[in-house]
A and B are shown apart, each in its own frame.
Chain A
Amino acid sequence: MSVPVYPMTRATGCPFDPPPQLRDLQGEAPLVKVRVFDRTAWMVTRYADQRKLLADRRLSSDVGKPGYPNSVARPVQSDEDTGIGFILMDDPEHSRLRRMVTAPFMIKRVEAMRPQVQEIVDNLIDDMLAGPKPVDLVTAFALPVPSLVICRLLGVPYEDHDFFQQNSKTLIRTSASIEERTEARNNIGRYLNELMGAKLANPEDDLLSGLAERVKAGELTRRDAAGIGVLLLIAGHETTANMIALGTLALLEHPDQLAVLRESEDPKLVAGAVEELLRYLNITHNGRRRAVLEDIEFAGEVLKAGDGVIFPNDLGNRDADAFPDPDRLDVSRDARHHIAFGFGVHQCLGQPLARMELQVVYGTLYRRIPALRRAVGLDEIPFKHDGAVYGVYSLPVTW
Chain B
Amino acid sequence: MKIIVDQDKCVASGQCVTAAADVFDQRDEDGVVVLLTDNPSEDLSADVHQAAAVCPALAIVVED
What residues make up the interface of A, taking CB atoms closer than 8 Å to B? 55, 95, 98-100, 102-103, 105-108, 110, 336-337, 341-349, 351-352, 355
Contacts and interface: CB of A to CB of B under 8 A. Distances in A.
Given A337-B53, A352-B18, A105 B58 contact: no
5 contacts: A106-B28, A106-B31, A336-B50, A337-B50, A347-B57
Nearest to B26: A106
Contacts of B58: 55
Given A100-B30, A105-B12, 18 more contacts: A55-B56, A99-B30, A99-B31, A102-B11, A102-B31, A103-B29, A103-B30, A106-B12, A336-B19, A337-B50, A341-B13, A344-B56, A344-B57, A345-B9, A346-B11, A347-B13, A349-B12, A352-B13
Contacts of B50: 336-337
Contacts of A342: 56
Contacts, number: 67
B30 A343 contact: no
Q: Which of A55, A100, A103, A348 has the most CB of B within 10 A?
A: A103
A232 to B, nearest CB: 14
A103 B54 contact: no
Contact of A107 (B17, B54, B56): B17
Nearest to B24: A107
A347 to B, nearest CB: 4
B61 to A, nearest CB: 14
Nearest to A99: B30
B29 A107 contact: no
B26 A108 contact: yes
Interface majority SS on B: helix, strand, loop or mixed? loop
A110 B13 CA distance: 12
B10 to A, nearest CB: 9
A345 B58 CA distance: 9
A102 B54 contact: no
Contacts of A98: 11-12
Given A336-B19, A345-B11, A352-B14, A102 B30 contact: yes
A103 B58 CA distance: 20
Nearest to A54: B56
Contacts of B19: 336
A355 B14 CA distance: 11
A344 B17 CA distance: 17
Contacts of A100: 30
A90 B11 CA distance: 13
Given A351-B13, A352-B18, A103 B56 contact: no
Contact of B31 (A103, A337, A343, A345): A103
Contacts of A337: 50, 53-54
Interface string B1-21: 000000001011111011101
B52 to A, nearest CB: 11
A337 B56 CA distance: 10
Contact of B13 (A95, A103, A349): A349
A347 B57 CA distance: 8
A359 B21 CA distance: 18
A61 to B, nearest CB: 13
A347 B9 CA distance: 13
A346 B57 CA distance: 9
Contacts of A105: 12, 14, 31
The 9 closest A-B pairs by CB, nearest first: A347-B56, A102-B31, A102-B12, A106-B31, A107-B14, A107-B17, A352-B14, A106-B26, A99-B30
Contact of A99 (B12, B13, B28, B57): B12
Given A98-B11, A103-B31, A106-B14, A345 B56 contact: yes
Nearest to A353: B14
Contacts of A99: 12, 30-32
Contacts of A343: 56
B12 A345 contact: no
Contacts of A345: 9, 11, 56-57
A349 B31 CA distance: 11
Nearest to B18: A107
A247 B64 CA distance: 39
Contacts of B56: 55, 341-345, 347
Nearest to B9: A345
B31 to A, nearest CB: 4
